Homo-oligomer: A and B are copies of this chain.
Amino acid sequence: MRPQDIIRRKRDGGELSREEITSFVAGVVSGAWADYQASALLMAVYLTGMTTGEMEALTQAMLRSGEVLDFSDISLPKADKHSTGGVGDKTSLVIAPLVAACGVAVPMISGRGLGHTGGTLDKLEAIPGYRVHLDLAEFRRVLGGVGYAMMGQTAEIAPADKKLYALRDATETVESIPLIVASIMSKKLAAGLGALVLDVKTGSGAFMRDEGRARALARALVRTGHSCGVQTEALLTDMSQPLGAAVGNANEVQECILIMRGEAGEEAGDVRELSLELAARMVALSGSVASLDEARREVGRALTSGAALERFRRNVEAQGGDPRVCDDPSRLSDLTTREVRVESEHAGYVVSVDASEVGRAVASVGGGRARVEDRIDPAVGYTARARVGQQVSAGEPFGLLYCRPGSDSEAAAARIRAAYTVGDDAPGQVPQLIKEVIAQ
């Protein structure tokens, strides 16, 4: 099959066959397709779209470009969750132990933060000693022993995605729904799942700020998951303000441990609620309980009984981390950081928070990455007190910025301050956390 013929068909808005898509992905990996041919096809896909059948074929071809993990020796059902990324989005740290405690194995392959968003791997590395670079044998051992394991993408998993992502990044074809779907699904399905729950974010801190586009993405993900034979659901959730209070790394892990300890305050209510709902859906979709309501009761019990915390502790231990953080979360923080109060200039109501600006401000003082090669300082972060709808007086802090002496903390604090809009009247409505459930 000539690359030109495949490019032409998509250019003209036609539907590519499974064979054509397989030939494209194989050609990108082997070099039979030149980069400039691949990028021309990517742009044609961006502009003319793909059917569910094409997305499924692309997902499968990318998945099969690498190793597909086989955990059939672990007899438990397997489920995973994926978030499209946000600010303060730390639910994976709560969900994985919660679902494992309910008897569903979670082989979670996660990513790192970039730009305004954080990444699960970076957060985990805030735990002293924690190792996210496991080989497959270790990953399998931790998964079998603890019920969940966390690691980063390896070179063996969906190598076509790595190559295509680099091209998309350089050619402004990242934001294409079919290409996003295949990228997410090919990596997630490499872990041999039976069920997958997607947390598709929308709002100021999301990659897809526009709710309509986010909904379209959620639907495409769910349809493609079903086509690939995986029980799939998506929640469309709010990212118009950071999720929970903590934005950073150590402080986000701390927030999660406090939730699992039952000690978290009201400001972590949304993290708790979203974690429970996503976990319940993973358990329900795995078929180990009769209904979603039963799954909700089960994950609720796993949280309050301490079973989730116990799984978390065992995972930290198994992956080389210091389990004492579970008993004393203050071990995560670093006493050499200094706190900068980010204060409201006016009295009034918090009308909105530009979550991406908060994420970028934290990244600017070392809590995130501007470029892939940047190193993260886990102790740096921002912990909010004020949320949308809340009343503040002049001089009252929106929250605290933790940074290193010598970093440009004033500029970062000013950036966070500017991210808050304070008005005279309470906002008409506070954004709803879970906007929609997309089941098929």
* A-to-B contact residues, CB < 8 Å: 3-4, 7-8, 11, 34-40, 42-44, 46-48, 167, 170-173
Contact in complex: A170, B4 (CB < 8 Å): yes
Q: Please name the 6 residue pairs, one residue from A and one from B, whose CB atoms are nearest each other, closest first.
A: A40-B171, A36-B39, A43-B43, A35-B36, A8-B172, A39-B40
Copies of this chain: 2
Contact in complex: B172, A43 (CB < 8 Å): no
Beyond A36-B35, A36-B167, whether A172 also contacts B7 by CB under 8 A is yes
Q: How far is the CB of A436 from chain B (nearest CB, A)?
A: 27
Instruction: Contacts A35-B36, A36-B170, A43-B43 known; list 5 others, CB within 8 Å.
Output: A7-B171, A11-B43, A11-B172, A40-B40, A47-B47
Contact in complex: A36, B4 (CB < 8 Å): no
Cβ-closest chain B residue relative to A166: B36
Contact in complex: B171, A46 (CB < 8 Å): no
Contact of A48 among B8, B36, B38, B47 (CB under 8 A): B47
Beyond A11-B46, A44-B43, A47-B48, whether A172 also contacts B4 by CB under 8 A is yes
Q: How far is the CA of A15 from the CA of B217 in the complex (A)?
A: 28
Interface centre among A36, A38, A44, A167 (most CB of B within 10 A): A36
- A-B contacts, 30 of them at CB < 8 A, read A3-B170, A4-B170, A4-B171, A4-B172, A7-B43, A7-B171, A7-B172, A8-B172, A11-B46, A11-B47, A11-B172, A11-B173, A34-B35, A34-B170, A36-B36, A36-B39, A36-B167, A36-B171, A37-B39, A37-B170, A37-B171, A39-B39, A39-B40, A40-B40, A40-B42, A43-B43, A43-B44, A43-B47, A44-B47, A47-B47
Q: How far is the CB of A165 from chain B (nearest CB, A)?
A: 13
Contact of A35 among B3, B35, B46, B173 (CB under 8 A): B35
Cβ-closest chain B residue relative to A167: B36
Cβ-closest chain B residue relative to A39: B36
B contact residues around A3 at 8 Å (CB) = 170
Cβ-closest chain B residue relative to A171: B40
Q: How far is the CA of A46 from the CA of B8 in the complex (A)?
A: 11
Q: How far is the CA of A7 from the CA of B44 in the complex (A)?
A: 13
